[in-house]
Structure 1
Amino acid sequence: MKKLIVLLCGVLVAQLVLAVIVFVSGEEYGAYEAEEKLLVFDVTAVDRIQIENGSSSVVLTKQADKWVLPELDDFPADQHNVVQLLDKLAAMKKGWPVATTSGASRRFKVDEDEFERKLTLSTKENTLGQLFIGDSPGFRKVHVRNSGDAEVFAVDFNTWEASADAGDWIDKRILAFSAEKLLQVEMPDFVLRREDDEMQLADLTNQEEVNRQAIQTLVNNLSGLQIDSLLDEKDKPGSSTDEADFKLKVTLDPDETLTYYFFKQPSEEPYFLLKRSDFEDYFKIAEFHVNAIKQTTRDKLLVNAAEDVSGDMVDDESLNPEVELLD
């Protein structure tokens, strides 16, 4: 019995020692994971980003502190999305390697010749970092490998955040402006002007009352108009702006009036083309965005005259008792 007790005590001591070892190594790993960066670079120093997916690639360059797309004639990129990508890359930390052999890189699609994405960060003179992004081991996770290293890690990232399509990087809010700057809107059947810090119908009569919510909706639709994409040069319409299906003018200050020319596309295409007077480019705009503006008429900017103050409908006959109903 005494030997059995000694043996059990020995087993218990061994288990305690093993638990301490695991605990200590876990603490060391945790510190390692929290401190060591996957890529070490200065975000502010990067002025060129190249993203490849094996079949296509996109380059973004910084010009005068603004990111642009050289292949689209230096069209402005979405500054927020570019900065967000760089910040995420700079914040990536190493965890425990998923694999450490050179042969594993192909299996996880982070190989020099087989990858989901290849990101190269550089200045005009030097490469600051290169990262291979591979397949996904789970939700919002991807396998990655730093160029020159054999270790493969799993990090928090979405592959779509590193698109290799230039169209995904354009600034889709390039046409937006501050609603407070709006001085006048000229639509086909009405004009809105800013009076006493409010947009007002230019020819409002004493018997009419404007619908403030409808006016604000129109202002929001105009000031926040987003493009879907740029039109390829080869697809530009041959028609002149005089043949636009719909046009309007927006005045932002006394010396800045912008004209919008909308061209409806064939019925199977759910978008309009837009040419704005301050851009050479043609933009694709979703049809429902344009219709929200186009279908705004003068009548829709007025409070319904057939409703009393409480909102109840009034009998049309009581408004004009001399009107005779037709059979």
Structure 2
Amino acid sequence: MKKMITAALALLLVQVGLVLVLNMGSKGIEANTPDTLFLNFSPDAVQSLQITDGEGKTIVVKKDPSGWLMPEHFSAPVSGNKVKALVEKLAGIKQGFIVATSTDAAKRFKVDAGNFADHVVLQGADKTLADFYVGTAPVFRQVHARRADSNAIITIALSSFELETAADKWLDTSVATIKDADLVGLSVGDIKLKKTAEGWQLEGLKEGEKINGKEVDALVTSACGLAVQDVLDPKQVAGLFSNPVFGFTTVRKDGRNVEYLFGKGKDDYYVLKASDRNLYFKVHALPVENLQKMTREKLIEGTKVTGEVSNAPDQK
């Protein structure tokens, strides 16, 4: 019996040794303390974030005095909340036990420099704060990962879906929206609204005519609430604005007049160009078409709506 136990223990030791040898990389087995931070950086120190996916698509977001931007996508504004959420999550991720350390294992788990699902680099003002690879997913919301300065392959709580490389996933979709408190005037075709202490007033009301507050509020809400879907290449869409199909002008509390013009190609969306930005945005058709349908008659109580007028901007 003792000989059998001794033989079994010897076999176990051989198996453990074999596993260690197979998983040893050039640096050997590395020390690792589970449940400690995977990365070591302060979220406030991050100045840029770069993500490259397995197909070679890369997104770069960079901090600017005006906020976060995508320098390689026409410097379009980025959702600061999205950047903050991801950076803070990465800073707080805990690491588990080492899964493997060999070069072959890195390729197998797709955390190799030449074979990965995602490669993430965080830069500070003058140095790299974090550089790591994300690979296969053993379970839901878990991935294998490896820091660029380490051979250790571990499992962390992260998903590749959180590492988007498409510009529209990072875009600040509220870039064209207006706070109601900042809007003091609105012109849409022959509709001219002005905000007073008593509320919105429609210019040119005749004696006895009364403004339809519900319709006015709906118009203002629609004009203020435009959400953009993507940033577009000026070379492909700027020509649409030689003959814009629709437009309106806003007057801001600070005295600025900001014009919103819309172009329409063969696609089922509109292209927005606001006069305060040198950018072109894709917007959904429905809110634009609802604005186009608004007429002065609808804003006056008791007026019979006889038809719709064109709200296309005047050509200069």
Shorter-normalised TM-score: what interval?
A: 0.7 to 0.9
Structure 2 CA distance for partners of 1:276 and 1:65, relative to 1, 3 Å: closer
Could you tell me whether the CA contact under 8 Å between 2:237 and 2:271 is conserved in 1?
no
The 1:125–1:217 alpha-carbon spacing in structure 2 relative to 1, beyond 3 Å, is same
Q: 1:180 aligns to what?
A: 181
Residue 137 of structure 1 corresponds to 138
CA–CA distance in structure 1, aligned partners of residues 132 and 126 of structure 2: 18
Match of residue 66 from structure 1: 67
Deviation at 1:40, TM superposition (A): 0.6
Equivalent residue, structure 1, for 2:238: 237
CA displacement at 1:208 relative to structure 2: 4.2
Match for residue 76 of structure 1? 77
Q: Using the alignment, how far apart are the partners of 1:234 and 1:61 within structure 2?
A: 24
1:23 match:
none
SS at match of 2:116: coil
SS at match of 1:260: strand
Q: CA deviation at 1:51?
A: 1.1
Tell me the distance in 1 between the aligned counterparts of 2:151 and 2:90.
Answer: 18
Equivalent residue pairs, number:
271
1:200 aligns to what?
A: 201
Describe the SS at the equivalent of 1:249. Answer: strand
The verdict on how the C-alpha distance between 1:152 and 1:207 changes in structure 2, with shifts beyond 3 A counting, is: farther
The separation in 1 between residues aligned to 2:42 and 2:147, in whole angstroms, is: 16
Hey, what's the Cα distance between the residues in 1 that align with 2:153 and 2:116? Answer: 13
Corresponding letter in the other structure for 2:288: V
Structure having the higher Rg:
1
Q: Which amino acid aligns with 2:136?
A: D
1:186 maps to a residue whose letter is: S
269, 273, 276: which one aligns with 1:275 = 273
1:109-150 deviations in Å (ceiling 9; x for gaps): 222111111001122432111121122233333222222333
C-alpha distance in structure 1 between counterparts of 2:222 and 2:201, whole Å: 16
Distance 1:230-1:73 versus aligned 2 partners, 3 A rule: closer
Return 5+ residue gaps in structure 1 as ranges.
Answer: 1-31, 307-327
Q: Structure 2 CA distance, aligned partners of 1:233 and 1:68?
A: 17
1:288 aligns with 2:286: yes
Distance in 1 separating the partners of 2:206 and 2:166: 53
The equivalent residue for 1:51 is 51
Query: 1:304 offset after TM fit, Å?
Result: 5.3
Measured after TM superposition, the shift of residue 197 of structure 1 is 4.8
Provide the C-alpha distance between the structure 1 equivalents of 2:66 and 2:203, rounded to a whole number of angstroms: 42
Describe the SS at the equivalent of 2:69: strand
Tell which has more relative contact order, 1 or 2 (C-alpha 8 A, sep 6+).
Answer: 2
CA distance in structure 1 between the aligned counterparts of 2:69 and 2:170, rounded to whole angstroms: 9
**1:1-327 mapped onto 2 (5 Å cutoff):** 33-34=34-35, 36-54=36-54, 55-64=56-65, 66-205=67-206, 207-238=208-239, 240-241=241-242, 243-253=243-253, 255-266=255-266, 269-303=267-301
Q: State the Cα distance separating 1:271 from its structure 2 match.
A: 0.6
Report the TM-score, using the length of structure 1 for normalisation.
0.75
| Paired AA for residue 124 in structure 2 | T
- Deviation, structure 1 residue 245: 1.0
CA drift of 1:156 comes to 2.7
Q: Kindly provide the amino acid, as one letter, of the partner of residue 281 in structure 1.
A: L
TM-score (norm 2): 0.77
Partner letter of residue 261 of structure 1? L
What is the Cα-based RMSD across aligned positions, in Å? 2.4
